[in-house]
Structure 1
Amino acid sequence: MPVSCPVCGKPAEAVYRPFCSRRCADVDLGRWFNEDYRIPAAESDDETDTGAGEDGDDGAAENPPSAAAHPDAGGGAAGGLARGLAGTLNL
């Protein structure tokens, strides 16, 4: 069953389906990035709604791990990177 490209209307190629070419696929992606297309969000009438699930768990960890807790962090990304480079360069 032939499908037409949603961007230009030409017949779609199987490789890029539903688009006819890589260019049309990229044009469509650019439209999403530029927010030309939007998915509407349902608005809540209840002002006390915090986005939590039915059990009250909003999915966030109570104690999220910090960067310093990671053994390679070294007090931050720059410290770990500097130690990694120093080890590579035998400094």
Structure 2
Amino acid sequence: MLKENQIMVTDENGVESICEILFTHEVDGKQYVVFEFVDSEEVSAAIYVPGENEQEGTFEDIETEEEWAMLDDVLQKFYDEIDAELDEEEDEEEPA
């Protein structure tokens, strides 16, 4: 059973993998989904194309270097925000 923030990704060989959605990002009407494979912690991304209802949709490959570079920048900012939040939590836990 998939959790709310998980998706099933099928590769070109028909192998299914559970992935956790890290975040979504929309640019110029394209919806990008950045996700991490649960088993390997490898991060990847795809373009989400909505279907007829919310539970249906497909993924398309990202094909341009510009799109990958843009998503790499957004991913780095995502990790920086997580690091900043963790640092803030650690500072709050330290006795004065």
Which bin holds the TM-score, normalised by the shorter protein?
under 0.3
TM-score calculated relative to the size of structure 1: 0.25
TM-score calculated relative to the size of structure 2: 0.24
- Which of the pair is proportionally richer in strand? 2
